[in-house]
Structure 1
């Protein structure tokens, strides 16, 4: 039984204040990044992650307070190496980066300039706060498109509304082509061996780039002559050197899937309004109270969460405790239909389930066929090879 009074969100309480109360009055909000949004889009049915990310809760600290810490993030050495490589790629006014963009994506058939000559235009994007930086980025994109010249935006700030809550995103770079195209550039420190990057890492970079493209499309919609390219450029070290090389990422599918999944997310205010007053995810609170607070928000755990969510180990433990089939994966959960627990699935396989249920009947038949196959495998082998004197 919950110890929180069952009251919804009062109409006089603003959403901003409510979210601040959820994460803790003294806890600063943790901003959403493209990696978090890509993971959120991959599991739009998880209200727990949507609410925690929308409220800016530090899930790493929360997981530690719950006793189920997850090791996420790069090592200090990897971060230093990545920053050094990025500085090398963007050095000399972005000449090397522009060369890679032109080599792989061109300037466009109607471009005024055939190729980048020397340094690109690199506008100053500094401003106060994320809102100011996002506005300054939008202005720089508009000016660069009107100028019809190669322009490099170094760490621009993009805004994207997710489930009714604003998210501010910072790609490594955005290049404006002379023909008005905007290209997202992802700079990573993992190597590209023989022109090919690790498939899993390249896929993660593609999903992040898709989030940036969705944010850029909202700006391009009001900028005359602008078009956001659905081919991003992945820049990595070549082989085992520190020399940059690049590959084109076709992210049309990722953009479509991410947009559809983000649109399915329940709005943050709806999730917050359904919670009892006084509930908080402040990591300084006792573990028992935090566990009760987390369990008040519905989750949709899947094994894939282990690679992208800080609360995955906590959710996996609760899923296993509840004997839920979600711990076996989304595909298994989808196949089992109304059988939501492992025990119910095993009972159906043993013939104790409702045989009028097609899923239970199919499980029982599969278990019977498996038993027959194992029984057949235990029989003596075909005597013909032995009779023929075959040594096998």
Structure 2
């Protein structure tokens, strides 16, 4: 057995999915539908909304959510625009140009002879993942700087491997590995949009988690929990960098992946014969989708293909989540708009409940303000 084969077995292989579960997931997708592989963006979106059983099941089963949304009559508008995609590719090409010299200069390595750029070419995702693991091992053993551009990492998700491709990984002489995330949104006066940085941190945390699996099998290595975020400086196309701590996002991602490994438990709650096959009728698909609990929030619109469907249902039910997670958290047991209004009017709710007391106080102040303005 070659070194590559041995490394592939240790690093990339995952236990096979049990036949009954594999058959059940195929039923959920539809007999002619190929499973959609999970990527870092999808896993990061799961981590951002860990309470959504619906997305956990759909992603764990490899369901094509865009096709499902179209079949439900709520086609998706999520995804990156073509302009943003092209701009991002152009900026990444600049950052990684000249053999990665521009990127390494951001880390204080000015001389191109001080670092190596291993060749990660291999056949298929399994071969690329094994080649990446070997390059990381060799660079760590050499005790010098190394830059791995577009490596491939394997992470077990729902019992099968998901292959993830970070922008780059830097190996330092001390054996530490740092994930590099290249984004095209600007960093103005050393500060970037908090929401965009948060999304980048969640995505990078997925890469860190996958990288930790490789590090566990590589002597003398450790994975840094600070990722290098590279963005355009101010309003130029010049790259600048900042370290972002992803320990919080890493913890959330671990919990969500633990939930995905129990996807069979969620599937077991579905009625017999339930399927997400886009070829089925809208009525049948709606019944199946609604049989799995969702946790909609406005943030889902930018991250999930089913967001428009879930938003429509949330509005129909008058759910407070339709206006934001933060408000939902402050209202406690008041989960619908009608119950919130009733509590504010004093017709329901426990006056000792802080949320109810705050609503009634706000209603009183509003009434007094309207009366003083002569509006009542």
TM-score band by shorter chain is 0.7 to 0.9
Question: Is the alpha carbon distance of 1:44 and 1:164 closer, same or farther for their aligned partners in structure 2, counting shifts above 3 Å?
Answer: farther
Give the match for residue 287 of structure 2.
292
Is residue 2:18 matched to residue 1:18?
no
Question: Is the alpha carbon distance of 1:311 and 1:362 closer, same or farther for their aligned partners in structure 2, counting shifts above 3 Å?
Answer: same
Give the match for residue 166 of structure 2.
171
Question: Is the alpha carbon distance of 1:45 and 1:364 closer, same or farther for their aligned partners in structure 2, counting shifts above 3 Å?
Answer: closer
Is residue 2:187 matched to residue 1:192?
yes
Is residue 2:27 matched to residue 1:37?
no
> CA RMSD for the aligned pairs?
2.8
Is residue 2:215 matched to residue 1:209?
no
Shift of 1:123: 2.5
Give the match for residue 222 of structure 1.
217
- Match of residue 155, structure 2, among 160, 171, 183: 160
Q: Distance in 1 between matches of 2:268 and 2:75?
A: 28
Asked whether the equivalents of residues 330 and 355 of structure 2 are also in contact (C-alpha less than 8 Å), the reply is no
Give the match for residue 80 of structure 1.
86
Q: Distance in 2 between matches of 1:120 and 1:361?
A: 62
- Match of residue 140, structure 2, among 137, 145, 167: 145
**Structure 2 unaligned residues grouped into runs of 5+:** 1-16
Asked whether the equivalents of residues 20 and 55 of structure 1 are also in contact (C-alpha less than 8 Å), the reply is yes
- Match of residue 102, structure 1, among 101, 108, 115: 108
Shift of 1:143: 1.6
Residues 312-391 of structure 1 mapped to structure 2, 5 A cutoff: 312-355=307-350, 358=353, 362=357, 365-366=360-361, 369-370=364-365, 373-374=368-369, 377-378=372-373
Residues 122-137 of structure 1 mapped to structure 2, 5 A cutoff: 122-137=117-132
Aligned length: 359
Question: Is the alpha carbon distance of 1:290 and 1:352 closer, same or farther for their aligned partners in structure 2, counting shifts above 3 Å?
Answer: same
Q: Deviations over 1:80-130 (max 9, x none)?
A: 332233233223322222222236xxxxxxxxxxx7543742223233433
Shift of 1:202: 2.3
- Match of residue 90, structure 1, among 82, 86, 96: 96
Give the match for residue 8 of structure 1.
none
Q: Deviations over 1:209-243 (max 9, x none)?
A: 11111111122122111011122112223344433
Q: Distance in 2 between matches of 1:329 and 1:371?
A: 22
Asked whether the equivalents of residues 181 and 228 of structure 1 are also in contact (C-alpha less than 8 Å), the reply is yes
Q: Bigger shift: 163-172 or 356-365?
A: 356-365
Question: Is the alpha carbon distance of 1:283 and 1:350 closer, same or farther for their aligned partners in structure 2, counting shifts above 3 Å?
Answer: same
Residues 250-269 of structure 1 mapped to structure 2, 5 A cutoff: 250-263=245-258, 267-269=262-264
Asked whether the equivalents of residues 349 and 360 of structure 1 are also in contact (C-alpha less than 8 Å), the reply is no
Asked whether the equivalents of residues 192 and 236 of structure 1 are also in contact (C-alpha less than 8 Å), the reply is yes
Q: Distance in 2 between matches of 1:251 and 1:355?
A: 40
Give the match for residue 8 of structure 2.
none
Question: Is the alpha carbon distance of 1:14 and 1:131 closer, same or farther for their aligned partners in structure 2, counting shifts above 3 Å?
Answer: farther
Q: Deviations over 1:45-74 (max 9, x none)?
A: 111000111111221222222121232222
Give the match for residue 108 of structure 1.
none
TM-score by length of 2: 0.85
Question: Is the alpha carbon distance of 1:173 and 1:342 closer, same or farther for their aligned partners in structure 2, counting shifts above 3 Å?
Answer: same
Q: Give SS of 1:192's match.
A: coil
Q: Give SS of 2:113's match.
A: coil
Q: Deviations over 1:339-392 (max 9, x none)?
A: 332222322332322547736852673255235533563379xxxxxxxxxxxx
Residues 228-239 of structure 1 mapped to structure 2, 5 A cutoff: 228-239=223-234
Q: Give SS of 2:51's match.
A: coil
Asked whether the equivalents of residues 186 and 233 of structure 1 are also in contact (C-alpha less than 8 Å), the reply is yes
Please tell me whether Structure 1 or Structure 2 has the larger radius of gyration of its CA atoms: 1
Shift of 1:197: 3.1
Question: Is the alpha carbon distance of 1:320 and 1:226 closer, same or farther for their aligned partners in structure 2, counting shifts above 3 Å?
Answer: same
Asked whether the equivalents of residues 101 and 233 of structure 1 are also in contact (C-alpha less than 8 Å), the reply is no
Asked whether the equivalents of residues 186 and 235 of structure 1 are also in contact (C-alpha less than 8 Å), the reply is yes
Asked whether the equivalents of residues 47 and 249 of structure 2 are also in contact (C-alpha less than 8 Å), the reply is no
